[in-house]
Amino acid sequence: MKNNFLILKIIIVMIAFSANSLLCRVALKDAHIDSLTFSMIRIVSGAVALLPLLLRRHHHIQFKKIHVISGISLTVYIVAFSLAYEQIDAGIGALILFGVVQLTMIIYGLCKGEILSRIKLTGLLFAFGGLVYLLIPSSVSTIHLPLLNVIFMALSGFAWAVYSLAGNSKGSMPVNTAYNFLLAVPAGAVILLIVSLLMPGDYHADMHGIILAVLSGAVASAGSYYLWYSVLPYIESITASTVQLSVPCLSIFLAVLFIGETLTTQIIIATTLVLTGIFIVIKDRKKKVRTRTER
């Protein structure tokens, strides 16, 4: 794949990842649709968009155990994501989501035997400190984050980390993504039923909200995931991790530019701490991989 075309694909994917936060927040903030209806439309539209890919490559659809795990984690990610954005700004939500995803995957690596060096520990403390600084109220803070919505976003980040880790299994990732979205449809119906019973609410949707949900599911989710997995074979894992550092920054910038969210000093400091910490961990991992290779 030509380098310029590869870079263009990566830029498109990062913008699409960031767009999910904006699409969801705009739809919910302006009451065009409720969070559960948005979630279900996002899941179904993603499944419909990827179904032709599955039918073209497989005459008989066969689900595997890993598809079930991935489908459920994908559903939890999408539902919790929407519930969180009822009260959290797009940029802040993206930072919490990204921070939890990366911290979860780093902790998973440590549990699997990765060595916690001083450099890596420093990075973890930076990232965790940034999230704490963002979330803990202070007398000078202009950010007020409802605890329940923060928990939902953290759950969404954890579920996405599980989905990403499960996605490292063998097989075609674009095809696996299609399977995951298909399984997310019944899983989503069950989870949404449970949530609706525990948290009764006003279920509604106008055409604007439906369009935003479809764009989120078919384009910013299914389309970007497919494009991302077509790029991954051509880049190193360290590059993949590093370019994703742009997602919360893009989300914050686009939210300020297009939907009028406020950029505060607290957000800037928290973002800097989180991204610096994660970057330190990633660079340390790259250094160790290179050292092993040279040996």
SS3 for 33? strand
Give residue 232's pLDDT.
81
Residue 276: pLDDT above 70?
yes
Tokens 């409802």, residue? 146
pLDDT at 133: 84
Q: Provide the pLDDT for residue 93.
A: 92
Cβ atoms of 36 and 78 closer than 8 Å: no
Burial label for 99, CB within 10 Å (0-12, 13-18, 19+), is buried
Q: pLDDT at residue 61 above 80? A: no
Domain ranges of the chain: 3-294
What whole-number distance in Å separates Cα of residue 44 and Cα of residue 158? 22
Whose tokens are 């997602």? That residue is: 247
Summarised one tens digit per residue, pLDDT across range 6-33 is: 889 999 999 999 999 999 999 999 999 9
pLDDT value for 132: 84
Q: What pLDDT does 152 receive?
A: 96
Report the amino acid identity of residue 188. G
106 — pLDDT class (breaks 50, 70, 90): confident
Within 10 Å of residue 198's Cβ, how many Cβ atoms?
7
Q: Which residues of 122-155 are buried (b: 16+ CB within 10 A; e: fewer)?
A: ebbebbeebbebbbeeeeeeebebeeebbebbbb
Q: pLDDT digits over 126-139, tens only?
A: 888 888 888 776 54
